Amino acid sequence: MSPSVIALLHGPDQPGLVARTAGWIHQRGGNVLHADQHLDRDENVFFQRVEWLPASNHSIEEEMGSFRELVAGELGMQVRLARSDQRPRVALMVTKADHCFHDLALRQRAGEWDADLVGVLSNHETLRSVADSYDLPFVFHAVSRESKADAETEQLAWLGEQKVDLLILARYMQVLSAGFLEKIGCPVINIHHSFLPSFAGARPYHQAHKRGVKLIGATAHYVTQDLDEGPIIEQDVARVSHRHGAQELIERGRDLEKLVLAAAVRRHLQHRVLVYGNKTVVFD
Amino acid sequence: MSPSVIALLHGPDQPGLVARTAGWIHQRGGNVLHADQHLDRDENVFFQRVEWLPASNHSIEEEMGSFRELVAGELGMQVRLARSDQRPRVALMVTKADHCFHDLALRQRAGEWDADLVGVLSNHETLRSVADSYDLPFVFHAVSRESKADAETEQLAWLGEQKVDLLILARYMQVLSAGFLEKIGCPVINIHHSFLPSFAGARPYHQAHKRGVKLIGATAHYVTQDLDEGPIIEQDVARVSHRHGAQELIERGRDLEKLVLAAAVRRHLQHRVLVYGNKTVVFD
Amino acid sequence: MSPSVIALLHGPDQPGLVARTAGWIHQRGGNVLHADQHLDRDENVFFQRVEWLPASNHSIEEEMGSFRELVAGELGMQVRLARSDQRPRVALMVTKADHCFHDLALRQRAGEWDADLVGVLSNHETLRSVADSYDLPFVFHAVSRESKADAETEQLAWLGEQKVDLLILARYMQVLSAGFLEKIGCPVINIHHSFLPSFAGARPYHQAHKRGVKLIGATAHYVTQDLDEGPIIEQDVARVSHRHGAQELIERGRDLEKLVLAAAVRRHLQHRVLVYGNKTVVFD
Amino acid sequence: MSPSVIALLHGPDQPGLVARTAGWIHQRGGNVLHADQHLDRDENVFFQRVEWLPASNHSIEEEMGSFRELVAGELGMQVRLARSDQRPRVALMVTKADHCFHDLALRQRAGEWDADLVGVLSNHETLRSVADSYDLPFVFHAVSRESKADAETEQLAWLGEQKVDLLILARYMQVLSAGFLEKIGCPVINIHHSFLPSFAGARPYHQAHKRGVKLIGATAHYVTQDLDEGPIIEQDVARVSHRHGAQELIERGRDLEKLVLAAAVRRHLQHRVLVYGNKTVVFD
């Protein structure tokens, strides 16, 4: 099958945007596979995801370039383009908990994503054998207060060499520095084990247990320099009761964390997530 | 605010459909408020909901007529058109249970729908006082084996006089005859108190209790001549356990029935539901 | 049917508590209808709900008095006793929103609770006609900064005269003073329109919309002097997306608020909720 | 820690059952860790799960034997006894789908259950490498119409040698014969990929897609000679829409199947599930 183009665009609303993009694609002989749009009436911002097969007489590079001219040039909107035949390169960061690691690796193997797992970074040796079992490179850097800057430099170097398109913090128990986030040059998705904004920070299940909530949650979000404050991609909850101690919340939370992180990663890799301000538009 | 047009269309897929409809609206100076489409790849059928404000120099009748020509004529698709300033006229059929009746009447009063409740038909006198409390006409017809045909004739006459656009069976405990459904000329929505296709027919909570299910459900569907077999609009479930007898399932089911029926009615009245074959496309 | 006794007890764990209470009831010829217990292993606190039919040769007053001696005296535990033939007297406080008011009044009428609604207090006249439609006394007190103390005094006097056993804040948009809560002498249940502890305080749906959460919530809790910090009885959530503005969150939240408040009230009136510390044990 | 005893008992209700069992344990110096009971008022059957630590002067064998005398002898009830220090031996049957297999193996490794996985039976060679990766014996028997009887004989022999306490059909795509089920001598849990009783039999996701349901489900149940008719242990559902073809239902269903099967297995291994008639009591 010839590759398709996926465009995520947004900008100030103006009349005829759907007609302009759909008309452009149609006139060049392209075939729209999926189109969805959203208008934020409060902010007057128009959002669109459109995926199409270019006509065979247009190379995909030419199609993408011309579309960018239309949207970024004529229409004055921001646009992100992807092609269906380029498999994103994904890296994981982990510490000691392995449930999200196994879950993501098995989903990738099962073909749930059109993406490659290129390796695993960790601040502990604990999960090296798990990485080995999936034939994944495992790169260890000790991270202490003193070594953190050096470790991050080396982590960035490795991620750069690997040309990573997405970094997933699969229960990585270190805060990434502002400098790291500025330099990384690709999105970073984290799973936080609470229903944010409740119980940000450390030991969220203990906080939840202490407060006596009747539901626990998990939140997948893009990482920004404000800890646990980045744009939320996906959340879910599970019912608990007085019978569950903090330890049982931790155990029950694992399934939530796996599902919520996997859903966020899948949507991101399908180019369905648009960030604006501190929020996301997630096209189904 | 000037009224908008809402079109629900479907038919065989062909290249450029989004461009054709969006382009047509844009060229005539209209402003798209909402557009969503779906392609059933198995059946190769294209579905679209599009809502737009016509330019002020086009009357809404003219806009609707011309759009119909485009879609039904040139494009060869089926289309249903509605205008935002025409409030649908809704009637209820009830028997003795009042929870869905109260729920729908209160939602209508609270302005959840742009629709009018024009009256209530019943085969029992039980809920006349409820209808009175909402200032709704209440029309009683006894329905026995012998009187059913006559009762249906009178019910149809009343519905016709009232120019009803939607009939809701809000726990109406009689089966409507094939003849009634042929003649009524408007959609009929029913709430069935199970997760269809499980437990079709009578006493679904008793069936569910006997089978020992761990979730009970409710299903809102369009009524067809095949009992409990019509196109499903909405479903939901609630968790139960061995502690719940059949009577408790009935009580717990009431909230489900209210929510599921209300959701289906809201979507229908917002012109978001397209029927094809025995299924629905529900645009969010 | 002769009345049953319901006991909610808790205190430091000690060997044989289940045997002691069950044995006591059995020896006196009583018949246990329901028994459930919980041990908080962190705090070493034992909780029990037990409901039984006393033997016909014991008056219910005598049975309750003797049981209290056993539990509070011999076993050194705290105990709350109720009898199934005493219908609790419930009052509502409302402001302008009527959805929880209708919902509670209809559930009471439908016989979902063995309790009486004795009247409605409000700081606005808006819902007087709703109270009238249910034949409920409606008592209005204007509440301004200056008049608040006087209004609360009168509200307390009315609640005292009515011998109210439970006060429900059904979207009452005033903070009750510490003095009011000290003097009222019965539990107060509030519905907060967020998933606490997220979005405590004013305009929670606007806060939720701004944060871009993917689920909205509602929380029913006992009112304490710390606003929105009291023991949580029930919580639930509903899925939302970027398509929902703050106004739509408000509308969608109504169903959640109704269901969560109703569930909490039902459990409370069934004597299933035990408060300890700032948490609840809710026996199913 | 010394081992505890877990008893699951049921039989005709009679006065004082809770007092009898709790009193017996207390008098012998035992310490109740968990007790829960249920009375089916329709059938007048009493169910109880009780777990306790025997006093140190009683051997656990003696405690279990004496308790059996009390319950089965004096009280005339059925009882199943387990001891916390005996790890159940669990075997899997699989065909080609590996998601439930991975999920169960990882949970066992993570210590979610106090149970051992002893091996995997299959009618295909496909998943041998998965079994190898978990160091699990993998036993292949080709199953055709002709070879089925012989294969089952060998499977039974292997299960007997392994002293298996629980057999899990983790997407095993063969129907077990009545003879196999009679001889196996331990419970068999199956995961069916629909919300039973809807869509029993083959290709349930295709059936669900054809019917146009708005939720898909999964059901874990004990296997009986009536296909897909055995006592239900756990069920859950997930929302789908017109956008999901049959293939997407299959993919989305995998997470459901994993979670529902894992929940059922966990409850079973914790001795929380009591079967009676064709239903289950599942103590939380």
C77 and C96 housed in the same domain: no
Q: Which residues of D touch A102 (CB under 8 A)?
A: 102, 106
Which amino acid, one-letter code, is at A54? Answer: P
Of C54, C83, C112, at which residue does a domain stop? C83
Q: Do A251 and D112 touch (CB under 8 A)?
A: yes
Query: Is the pLDDT score of C42 beyond 90?
Result: no
Of D50, D83, D116, at which residue does a domain stop? D83
Q: Which DSSP state fits D59?
A: -
C77 and C214 housed in the same domain: no
Gap between the Cα atoms of B129 and B108, Å rounded:
18
Cβ-proximal residues to B157 (8 Å cutoff; 6+ apart), any chain: none
Q: What is the mean pLDDT of residues D31-59?
A: 92
What percent of chain B has a predicted confidence (pLDDT) above 90?
92
* pLDDT single digits (tens) C147-190: 999 999 999 999 999 999 999 999 999 999 999 999 999 999 99
Query: Cis peptide leading into D197, omega within 30 of 0?
Result: yes
Asked if A40 and A47 touch (Cβ cutoff 8 Å), the reply is: yes
Per annotation, catalytic residue among A98, A103, A165, A228: A228
Gap between the Cα atoms of A80 and A50, Å rounded:
11
A139 and A56 housed in the same domain: no
* pLDDT single digits (tens) D158-216: 999 999 999 999 999 999 999 999 999 999 999 999 999 999 989 999 999 999 999 99
Q: pLDDT-derived band of residue C48, with 50, 70 and 90 as boundaries?
A: very high
Q: pLDDT-derived band of residue C2, with 50, 70 and 90 as boundaries?
A: confident
Q: Do D232 and B211 touch (CB under 8 A)?
A: yes
Beta strands in C126-272 (DSSP E): 138-140, 166-169, 188-192, 215-222, 232-239
Gap between the Cα atoms of A59 and B249, Å rounded:
61
Query: Which residue of D106, D112, D241 is in closest CB contact with A102?
Result: D106
More confident residue, C43 or B183: B183
Neighbours of B236 (CB within 10 A): 21
**Adjacent-strand bridge partners of C7:** C50, C81
**The predicted structure's pLDDT at residue D138:** 98
Give B 145-204 residues with CB within 8 A of chain A.
Answer: none
Angle at A19 between CA A16 and CA A22, to 5 degrees: 145
Q: pLDDT-derived band of residue D2, with 50, 70 and 90 as boundaries?
A: confident
* pLDDT single digits (tens) B44-102: 999 999 999 999 999 999 999 999 999 999 999 999 999 999 999 999 999 999 999 99
Q: Which residues of C touch A232 (CB under 8 A)?
A: 211-214
Asked if B105 and B85 touch (Cβ cutoff 8 Å), the reply is: no
**The predicted structure's pLDDT at residue C132:** 96
Query: Which residue of D15, D19, D37 is in closest CB contact with C19?
Result: D19
Size of interface A-D (CB pairs under 8 A): 18
Domain of residue D56, residue span: 5-83
Q: pLDDT-derived band of residue B41, with 50, 70 and 90 as boundaries?
A: confident
Q: Do B25 and A19 touch (CB under 8 A)?
A: yes
Asked if the C-beta of A232 comes within 8 angstroms of chain C's C-beta atoms, the answer is yes
For residue A97, give the chain D residue with the closest CA: D110
B277 and B146 housed in the same domain: yes
Which amino acid, one-letter code, is at A6? Answer: I
Taking each helix axis from N to C terminus, what angle separates B246-269 and B204-211, rounded to the nearest 10 degrees? 120
Per DSSP, the three-state class of C97 is coil
Gap between the Cα atoms of A118 and D220, Å rounded:
36
Neighbours of C81 (CB within 10 A): 18
Q: pLDDT-derived band of residue B1, with 50, 70 and 90 as boundaries?
A: low
Asked if the C-beta of D257 comes within 8 angstroms of chain A's C-beta atoms, the answer is no
- Domain CATH number, residue B40: 3.30.70.260
Rounded to the nearest angstrom, the gap between the alpha carbon of residue D264 and the centroid of all alpha carbons in its chain is 6
Strands C31-40 and C45-53: antiparallel
What token pair was written down for C33?
A: 């209808």
Q: What is the mean pLDDT of residues B23-37?
A: 92
Rounded to the nearest angstrom, the gap between the alpha carbon of residue C276 and the centroid of all alpha carbons in its chain is 14
Query: Chains with 3 or more CB pairs closer than 8 angstroms to A?
Result: B, C, D
B98 and B183 housed in the same domain: yes
Gap between the Cα atoms of A207 and A215, Å rounded:
12
CA distance D23 to chain C (A): 5
B210 and B184 housed in the same domain: yes
Query: Is the pLDDT score of D1 beyond 70?
Result: no
Gap between the Cα atoms of D129 and A257, Å rounded:
28
Going from the C-alpha of D271 to that of each of B17, B244, C141, D20, D266, the distances in angstroms are 59, 21, 57, 21, 9
**The predicted structure's pLDDT at residue A43:** 87
Which H or E element spans position D108?
Answer: helix D99-109
Gap between the Cα atoms of A195 and D52, Å rounded:
36
Q: Do A234 and C241 touch (CB under 8 A)?
A: no
Asked if the C-beta of C211 comes within 8 angstroms of chain B's C-beta atoms, the answer is no
Angle at A216 between CA A214 and CA A222, to 5 degrees: 150
Number of folded domains in chain A?
2
Angle at A265 between CA A261 and CA A268, to 5 degrees: 140
Going from the C-alpha of B280 to that of each of B10, C241, D204, the distances in angstroms are 12, 22, 19
Going from the C-alpha of D220 to that of each of D167, D186, D223, the distances in angstroms are 13, 16, 9
**The predicted structure's pLDDT at residue C119:** 98
**The predicted structure's pLDDT at residue C41:** 84
**The predicted structure's pLDDT at residue C284:** 85
Rounded to the nearest angstrom, the gap between the alpha carbon of residue B50 and the centroid of all alpha carbons in its chain is 19
**The predicted structure's pLDDT at residue A1:** 66
C12 and C56 housed in the same domain: yes
Query: Is the pLDDT score of A14 beyond 80?
Result: yes
D94 and D21 housed in the same domain: no
**Adjacent-strand bridge partners of A282:** A273
Work out whether the CA dihedral C44, C50, C55, C57 comes out positive or negative: positive
Write down the mean pLDDT value for chain D: 95
Size of interface A-B (CB pairs under 8 A): 44
Of C83, C108, C138, at which residue does a domain stop? C83
C226 and C128 housed in the same domain: yes
Asked if the C-beta of D40 comes within 8 angstroms of chain C's C-beta atoms, the answer is no
Query: Is the pLDDT score of C1 beyond 80?
Result: no
Query: Which residue of C98, C110, C251 is in closest CB contact with B99?
Result: C110
Cα dihedral A166→A172→A177→A178 (10° resolution)? 40
- Reported residue count of chain B is 284
Asked if D194 and D215 touch (Cβ cutoff 8 Å), the reply is: no
Active site residue D42: no
B169 and B67 housed in the same domain: no
Asked if D203 and D127 touch (Cβ cutoff 8 Å), the reply is: no
B111 and B214 housed in the same domain: yes
Gap between the Cα atoms of A89 and C8, Å rounded:
58
A63 and A124 housed in the same domain: no
For residue A259, give the chain D residue with the closest CA: D255
- Domain CATH number, residue A229: 3.40.50.170
Gap between the Cα atoms of B175 and A182, Å rounded:
66
Q: What is the mean pLDDT of residues D112-122?
A: 96
> How many Cα atoms sit within 13 Å of A197 on the Cβ side?
16
Q: Which residues of B touch A31 (CB under 8 A)?
A: 15
**Adjacent-strand bridge partners of C218:** C236
Query: Is the pLDDT score of C20 beyond 90?
Result: yes
- Give ipTM to 2 decimals: 0.94
Cβ-proximal residues to C7 (8 Å cutoff; 6+ apart), any chain: C21, C48, C49, C50, C51, C67, C71, C79, C80, C81
Asked if D178 and D102 touch (Cβ cutoff 8 Å), the reply is: no
